[in-house]
Amino acid sequence: MPANELHETARALVAEGKGILAADESDSTIKKRFDSIGVESTEENRRGYRDLLFTTDGVQDYISGVILFDETIRQSSADGTPFPELLESKGIVPGIKVDSGAKPLALADGETVTEGLDGLRGRLEEYRSLGARFAKWRATYSITNDKPSEYCTWANAHALARYAALCQEAGIVPIVEPEVLMDGTHTVERAYHVTSRVLNAVYTELFDQRIDLEGTLLKPNMVLSGYEASDRAGVEDVAEWTLRCFYKHVPAAVPGIVFLSGGQSDEDATAHLNAMNKRGPHPWQLSFSYGRALQAPALKAWLGKPENVEAAQRAYYHRAKMNGAARTGMYAPEMEREAVTA
Ligand code: 13P
């Protein structure tokens, strides 16, 4: 595996004006999303919903890659084309979620460690043969007065680096995802300090475990006030705090930072990304790898009904286009009206 294939894939995923769709909801998460629109989570409904997203015309202008779930990478479009092949034919890079979820961390009440390292080398080999060229592993950290602990911070960083090393060995670009959760009443300053400590641990472990940073992407949270905080930071403050944090802790060798949306409204996620890119250029590409913020309007438009497929595709296309504009700081809230008048 020439090292530059990893570099090329990582760079392609953060190509100008484009970002990643996270469509890798686990069975329990997609069930929650379907419950919210009254649709049963059957294998065929999950396949049909992902088919709708992946066959959206022209979305490849704004979407560089799609993260799939184990079930989805083995499924096919209505015409029988396997999903990875369909995506590749549109110039979209197929990716795969490979962790098996955040589980209680032993002797650390209320904290988690992400599992999935056992047997990962073999699974990566299979996923690559199915077409995956990048992967995702998500670690989560909750903020309270005394959390996350150093133990939780370093245990997750160590696992993220072990995952990243196995990916690079297999010729797969690792997306390293340390997510500091924004539930709670904490201030934006507290989110800044916790995110800083987490990133410091992650890049220490990545360095120690010999990771080639140019063949990786970082998928972090933005630095936000807790969702239940009384006085929440506005768009410009979020951009300032987030950039300050990443300038201090993310090496310039990393080609791109692809933010998760983490429960922000779809328009907030776009506005925050836009505000950061307006302050560019930066040492790395600043892009998106959104799940909910790209899919929420499409899910609502779809409601599981075949006659709504086109409306759902229009909604998804519109969000992808808005986030594509935010990649270069060219987004303006007035552009949202296009969805209504289209
Ligand atoms: P959200 O954008 O909905 O946070 O999902 C992104 C993701 O892949 C979380 O792991």
- Where in the sequence is the domain holding 35, given as residue range(s)? 3-341
Least Cα distance to 226 among 199, 192, 276, 258 occurs for: 192
Cα–ligand 1 centroid distance for 160 (angstroms): 17
Active site residue: 18, 97, 136, 219, which one?
219
Active site residue: 18, 25, 111, 177, which one?
177
Q: Mean pLDDT throughout 29-57?
A: 98
| C-beta of residue 82 within 8 angstroms of C-beta of residue 76 | yes
321 lines ligand 1 (CB under 6 A): no
Residue 153 reports pLDDT greater than 60: yes
111 is an active site residue: no
| C-beta of residue 112 within 8 angstroms of C-beta of residue 104 | yes
Q: Is the dihedral of CA 211, 214, 220, 223 positive or negative?
A: positive
Ligand 1, atom nearest to 177 Cα: 10
More confident residue, 342 or 276: 276
Confidence of residue 337 (pLDDT cuts 50, 70, 90): confident
Q: Mean pLDDT throughout 256-260?
A: 98
Percent of the chain with pLDDT over 70: 98
| C-beta of residue 38 within 8 angstroms of C-beta of residue 276 | no
Q: Mean pLDDT throughout 162-185?
A: 98
Confidence of residue 264 (pLDDT cuts 50, 70, 90): very high
Tokens of 178: 């340390």
pTM of the model: 0.97
Going by alpha carbons, the residue nearest to atom 10 of ligand 1 is: 138
65 lines ligand 1 (CB under 6 A): no
Q: Mean pLDDT throughout 4-21?
A: 98
Residue 314 reports pLDDT greater than 90: yes
Confidence of residue 152 (pLDDT cuts 50, 70, 90): very high
Query: Residue 58 region, left (φ>0) first, then alpha (ψ -120 to 50), else beta?
Result: left
The number of domains in the chain is 1
How far apart are alpha carbons 258 and 315 in whole angstroms?
A: 21
Which CATH number covers residue 320? 3.20.20.70
Ligand 1 pocket mutation, candidates 28, 292, 294, 295, criterion most atoms within 8 A of CB: 292
pLDDT at 101: 97
Mean pLDDT of the chain: 97
Cα–ligand 1 centroid distance for 2 (angstroms): 30
Cα–ligand 1 centroid distance for 320 (angstroms): 15
